[in-house]
Amino acid sequence: MVGRFVAGIGVGYAMMIAPVYTADVAPATSRGFLSSFPEIFINIGILLGYVSNYFFAKLPVHLGWRFMLGVGAIPSVCLAIGVLAMPESPRWLVLQGRLGDAFKVLDKTSNTKEEAISRLNDIKRAAGISEDMTDDVIVVPNRKSAGKGVWKDLLVRPTPAVRHILIACLGIHFAQQASGIDAVVLYSPTIFQKAGLKSKNDQLLATVAVGVVKTLFIVVGTCVVDRFGRRALLLTSMGGMFLSLTALGTSLTVIDRNPGHTLKWAIGLSVTTVMTFVAAFSIGAGPVTWVYCSEIFPVRLRAQGASLGVMLNRLMSGIIGMTFLSLSKGLTIGGAFLLFAGVAAAAWVFFFTFLPETRGIPLEEMESLFGSYTANKKKNVTEEGQEVVEKH
């Protein structure tokens, strides 16, 4: 239990820091693609866990579960070593007055030196530093101590734009988990058993297929997020999830109400819609949630704002994971997925209403996109994002 507690703290740190750090370092033209990488590798890890568990399950019980838990130490050690080679965030360096170090990082992560200079000037402007201040180390004017007043500006007296950003971040994280993805990932064998797959081997193989589909479609989503934009992928993803969950809940309900009958069409539909649900999630709601929430907060509020989103995400993940079996007994397993379908439908409306497009917008200009929920505002935001992409 102590080990799982410590591992949970580490996972929480990584899930908050990785997308924020990547968004800080990446240029605007490829920020969505690069910020999706943590989600890709999380799912590669899940897939490797499925595959290794399939083989470890063939070992004696007293050895199998120990290998299943212990093998996770290998990527943790690799990550710890890799972190030593990572540069500091350029925005953090600017806030500390270390302009020379910030430019070195930006120069390595920009397409041209001119782009690096432009990005540095944007960061300086957002931090209230004059462009005339060009020394390698400066004293930052009106510098606040680390974190001073941040929670007040974020939660107590937010501007309309910051309030909109916070609602968007919390809403997208809530929707990602409350729509049932962890129920599918954690309880795939149980779902397939309820659907009519009796063999344990078949259940594990179908679970591995879930991991393969999830990983492949996250790669697809990552490759197109900077082409089609965050908003389009989120709406497409949540719409697909709603349709898949509705079909899955219906097919499982039919199977549940016909005990003793082998309904091949319902079994096939159940297995297929699990795959389509995972695919729809992975092309948008999976990676784009982390991309979107890591880029929308003002630089001074970004770490704390993103951490609130991650906290809600993990809280909902825990609630879904701990209550799914009880929920499936109380509502039937089909009813549970129909409930998730209702959440997905509400999430689609929320995304359409609250989330402007952020593709190609520099992080320092992101706050100006929020504070209005009108269709005209979203149209202007989309056109502005397209102009920024074309300039680069």
Q: In three state form, how does the secondary structure of 216-250 look?
A: HHHHHHHHHHHHHCHHHHHHHHHHHHHHHHHHHHH
User: How far is it, in rounded angstroms, from Cα 285 to Cα 237?
Assistant: 6
Q: According to the model, what pLDDT value does residue 144 have?
A: 56
Residue (of 359, 369, 364, 363) closest to 389 by Cα position? 359
CA distances from 56 to 41, 50, 214 (A): 22, 10, 22
Q: According to the model, what pLDDT value does residue 244 have?
A: 95
Residue (of 166, 180, 179, 295) closest to 230 by Cα position? 295
Pair 20, 294: CB distance under 8 Å:
yes
Contact residues for 168 (Cβ-Cβ < 8 A; gap 6+)? 292, 293, 296, 354, 355, 370
Q: According to the model, what pLDDT value does residue 11 have?
A: 79
* Tens of pLDDT, residues 327-379: 988 989 899 999 999 999 999 999 999 999 998 888 878 888 998 765 445 54
pTM for the model stands at 0.78
Question: Could you tell me the two tokens for 25?
Answer: 């370092």
Domain segments of the chain: what residues? 1-86, 89-127, 149-375
User: How far is it, in rounded angstroms, from Cα 320 to Cα 4?
Assistant: 18
Q: Which residues of 355-368 are buried (b: 16+ CB within 10 A; e: fewer)?
A: bbbbbbbbbbebbe
Residue (of 240, 348, 237) closest to 285 by Cα position? 237
Q: According to the model, what pLDDT value does residue 131 have?
A: 79
Pair 248, 337: CB distance under 8 Å:
yes
Count of CB atoms situated within 10 Å of the CB of 305: 25
Q: According to the model, what pLDDT value does residue 208 have?
A: 81
Contact residues for 51 (Cβ-Cβ < 8 A; gap 6+)? 208, 211
Residue with tokens 């690069």: 34
Residue (of 316, 351, 10, 37) closest to 171 by Cα position? 351
Q: According to the model, what pLDDT value does residue 338 have?
A: 95
User: How far is it, in rounded angstroms, from Cα 89 to Cα 87?
Assistant: 7
- DSSP string for 145-208: PTTTTHHIIIIIS--HHHHHHHHHHHHHHHHHHHTTHHHHHHSHHHHHHHHT---HHHHHHHHH
Pair 385, 358: CB distance under 8 Å:
yes
Question: Could you tell me the two tokens for 191?
Answer: 């779902």
Question: Could you tell me the two tokens for 333?
Answer: 């397993």
Count of CB atoms situated within 10 Å of the CB of 45: 14
Give the 3-state secondary structure percentages of the chain, helix then strand then coil, rounded to 5.
Answer: 80, 0, 20
Amino acid 250 reads T
Q: According to the model, what pLDDT value does residue 375 have?
A: 40
Q: According to the model, what pLDDT value does residue 80 have?
A: 86
CATH of domain 149-375: 1.20.1250.20
User: Phi/psi of residue 246, each to 5°?
Assistant: -65, -45
* Tens of pLDDT, residues 39-80: 788 878 877 877 887 788 778 878 877 887 788 788 888 888
CA distances from 215 to 16, 50, 356 (A): 21, 12, 27
Q: According to the model, what pLDDT value does residue 241 have?
A: 96
pLDDT one digit per residue (tens) for the chain, 392 residues:
787 788 778 877 787 788 888 888 888 778 888 887 877 888 788 778 778 877 887 788 788 778 877 887 888 888 889 888 888 888 889 888 899 999 999 998 888 888 888 888 888 887 778 878 888 888 877 665 555 678 888 898 899 999 999 999 999 999 999 999 989 888 888 888 877 777 777 777 887 888 888 888 988 888 888 889 899 999 999 999 999 999 999 999 998 888 777 778 888 898 899 999 999 999 999 889 988 998 899 878 888 898 899 899 989 998 998 999 899 889 898 999 999 999 999 999 999 999 999 988 888 788 889 987 654 455 444 444 444 444 44
